[in-house]
Structure 1
Amino acid sequence: MGALGLMYANIIQEHLGSQAVQFVMDGERIEKYKNTDFKINGVSKKFRMVDAKNAMPADFVLVAVKFTGLEKALETIKKCVGPDTVIISVLNGISSEEVLAKHFGREKIVYSVAQAMDSMRFGSEVRYTKEGELRIGVANGGVQEKLKSLEDFFDKSGIHYIEEKDILRQLWNKFMLNVGINQTCMVFSACYSQVLGTKELKDVFVGAMQEVKAVANKKGINLNDDDINQWIKIIATFAPNGTPSMGQDRIAKRKSEVELFSGTVIRLGKETDTPVPINQMLYEKIMEIEAEY
C-alpha cells in the first residue's frame, strides 16, 4: 500500500468496483491498516485487504513493494499464484522480474516499467497529478498470451499502457532515470524543479544517467543521449515541488533503495570496466545520510 500500489488500486476500483482489486498482506499489517483512513488526492478511500494465509489464486498479481521487501513478498503472494496467474512487477531496477521468474516460473511473468507518474505517499495519504503509463512486454521466454490477457484487463480497468517490442531496453531506460533523479533528490534534499533549475544538481542528475548509458551500451543495451533528453523533458512536466521515492525516504528517515541504484551501477561498472565516479559519490553520500538516521 505504497504510492504506486494505492494509485493503481484506486484506478482499478474506480473503473471495476471494489471487488476487482485487493491487497494481500500478513496479519500484522492488516491489524495496522484496517482502521487507517487512506486518502487519494484528498479523498478517503477503502480497499479490500486479505490475509496472505487466506489468499486464493488470482488472475493478476501486481507486485508493488520496495526491492528491499521483495524476498518477503515472494512468500506473501505464494497462495495468490495459480497455474494461469499473470505476475507483473512495478519495482524499480532491472532485476525483480528475474527474481519472480525463478520463484514462480518465467511463463507467468510480464515485464513492466512504470513511468511518467508523480505519485507520492506521505503517511496514509497519496497524491498524484499524473498517472503515467506502464510499458509492458514479454522477454526471455515469456508467453504472448499472458501479455494479451493483461492488456485486456488494463483496457477494462483504466490503466494506461504501451506494449514494448524491446521491453529490456525500456527497463534499462527507466533504470537510468531512477539512478539519476532518485539519488540526486535524496542527496541534495531537492524537488524536481530544483534539480532541473540548479546547474550543480542537474549536472549530477545527467552525469549519473550518462554512466548508466555507458554501462548499458557495454551490456548490449542501446541507450543514447536522446533517451536522456527525453527524461529531462518528462521530469519538467512533474509537480515542481514533488520528489521521487528516495527523496521521500530521506524525509521519512527510511532506508532507501541505494543498493538497487548506484550499488548496481558500481557493480556493473566493475564488471564492464566502466568508470562510474558520480554514482560512487552518490552511493557514499547516501550511506552517510542513512547512517545519521
Structure 2
Amino acid sequence: MEIKKVSIIGLGALGILFGHHLSKRMPKKDLRIIADKNRIQKYQTDGVYCNDERCDFNYISPEEACEPADLLIFTVKFNGLQDAIKAVKNHVGENTIIISALNGISSEGVIGDAYGTDKVLYCVAQGMDAVKVGNKLTYANMGMLVFGDREPGIISEKVKAVKAFFEKTEFAHEVLTDMKEKLWGKFMLNVGVNQTVAVYESNYGEIQKDGPARDMMIAAMREVAMLSEKEGITLTEDDITYWLDVLSKLSPEGKPSMAQDVEARRFSEVDLFAGTVLELGRKYDIPTPVNKELYDRITKIESEY
C-alpha cells in the first residue's frame, strides 16, 4: 500500500513538529489535523507557529465525514488518549496504520483495544528538543520516529509502507525489529530526564553536566532497568549509556514535556512515569526510592497550583 492521506491528533509539541514538517511535503488536503471546533477556531485566530513560521494546517473536526487515513498519528498526552481515540473514529478504516508517539509503555495497547492491534505499530519518538510556549514551538533538533512491528524479528508490509512514506517526505526515522525493548528504553529515559528536569525546574543543560540532577536522573533510570528484567526486557548499563548519548546531543536550553508542564502549571504525566515504576516495584517487591522521591516532589509542586 502507498500512504497518501495522513491524520494527526494532538497539536502539542510533537503534533506541531510533525505537522509542520509534513505540511511542506504533502498536498494540504491530504494532511488533516484533528481538533474540536473550539480549538480550530483558536488555532485559526491566533495561529500556530513553528520556529517563528506560521503553520498552514488543514483542520478537521471529529464529526466531519472524511476518507479514512492511510496513516494516523497520535501525539496527545496520555491523559487525553481516551478522548482522542473517540475523536479519530472517522479516520480509521480497514487499512489504516496507526502509530503512537505518546510517552510510556501502554498507549499502543489502549489504542489496539479500540481499533485492533493489527493496525498499531510500536513507535518511539526520540531526539527532539522542542519547547512549546503558548501557540509557538521552537526546536533545534527534530529528532526521529523509531518504529516497527509488535512481534519481534519481522518487517511487515505496514512497516515498509510507513518507511517508504517517511523516505518520500524526508522524515527522520529508523526501523527496528525489537520494539518492545526500545519502548522500555525510552520509558527508562523519560522516567529519568522528564521528572528530574521538572523537579529541578531547569533544562537539558542541567542533566548534561555532572552534578546532583544528573545523578538523580541516572538513579531513576537504573530502577527502571531493574524492573525491566522482571518484565522480560533486560535493560543494561549499555542502554543507559545509549540514552545518555541521545541526551548529550540536545540543545542545553531545551526541556522535556514534564518540565514545560510544571513551568506552565499544568498537571503532568507523573503517574505515567514514577507512578508506573512504583506500581511495578510493589508488584515485584523491588524498592524504588528515587522514583518515590520524584513522585512526591512533583505531586507536591502540582498540589500548590
Tell me the TM-score normalised to structure 1 length: 0.96
Asked if structure 2 preserves the Cα contact closer than 8 Å seen for 1:108 and 1:143, the reply is: no
Q: Aligned letter for 1:268?
A: L
Q: Is 2:95 the partner of 1:84? A: yes
Which residue, out of 23, 35, 38, partners 2:33? 23
Correspondence for 1:273 among 256, 262, 285: 285
**Paired letter, 1:9:** G
Q: Is the 8 A contact 1:177 1:231 kept in 2?
A: yes
Q: 1: distance between equivalents of 2:65 and 2:257?
A: 29
CA distance in 1 between counterparts of 2:65 and 2:138 reads 29
- Return closer, same or farther for 1:234/1:18 CA change in 2, 3 Å cut-off: same
The percentage of aligned residue pairs carrying the same residue is 39
Deviations 1:261-290 (A, max 9, x none): 000010011112211100011001111000
CA distance in 2, matches of 1:261, 1:55: 36
Correspondence for 2:4: none
In structure 2, the partner of 1:38 is: 48
SS in 1 for 2:45: coil
Aligned pairs for 1:183-194 within 5 A: 183-194=195-206
Ranges in structure 1 where 5+ consecutive residues have no aligned partner:
none
Mapped pair 1:134 → 2:154: no
Alpha-carbon shift at residue 36 of structure 1 (Å): 2.1
Q: Does the CA contact (< 8 Å) of 1:16 and 1:156 recur in 2?
A: no
Partner of 2:230: 218
Any unmatched runs of 5+ in structure 2? 1-10
Say if 2:24 is the partner of 1:14: yes
Comparing 232-241 with 94-103, greater Cα deviation is found at 232-241
Closer, same or farther: CA 87–290 of 1 in aligned 2, 3 Å: same
One-letter code of the match for 1:13?
A: S
* Alpha-carbon displacement from aligned partner over 1:90-111 (angstroms, at most 9, x marks no partner): 0000000000000000111111
8 A contact 2:52–2:136 mirrored in 1: yes
For 1:126, the aligned partner's letter is L
RMSD (CA atoms): 1.4
Equivalent of residue 282 in structure 1, options 271, 275, 294: 294
Q: Match for 1:115 among 106, 110, 126?
A: 126
CA distance in 1, matches of 2:117, 2:243: 30
What CA distance in whole angstroms lies between the structure 1 residues aligned with 2:178 and 2:224? 18
Measured after TM superposition, the shift of residue 198 of structure 1 is 4.7
Indicate yes or no: 2:166 matched with 1:154.
yes
User: Bigger shift: 233-242 or 90-99?
Assistant: 233-242
Match of 2:60 in 1: 50
Give the TM-score taking structure 2 as reference length.
0.93
Q: 1:228 aligns with which of 225, 240, 247?
A: 240
Give 1:241 shift.
1.4
1:104 aligns with 2:104: no
Structure with the bigger percentage of helix: 1
Which of 104, 112, 133 is the aligned partner of 1:93? 104
1:188 Cα deviation after fit: 1.0
Aligned 8 A contact 2:150 2:179 in 1: yes
Aligned 8 A contact 2:148 2:155 in 1: no
Corresponding residue SS for 1:129 = coil
Query: Deviations 1:218-271 (Å, cap 9, x if unpaired)?
Result: 211021101111222221211111110000001100000001000001001111
Provide the rounded CA distance (Å) in 2 between the counterparts of 1:183 and 1:55. Answer: 40
- Decide whether aligned partners of structure 1 residues 143 and 98 sit closer, same or farther in structure 2, where only a CA change above 3 A counts: farther
- 2:241 aligned with 1:244, yes or no? no
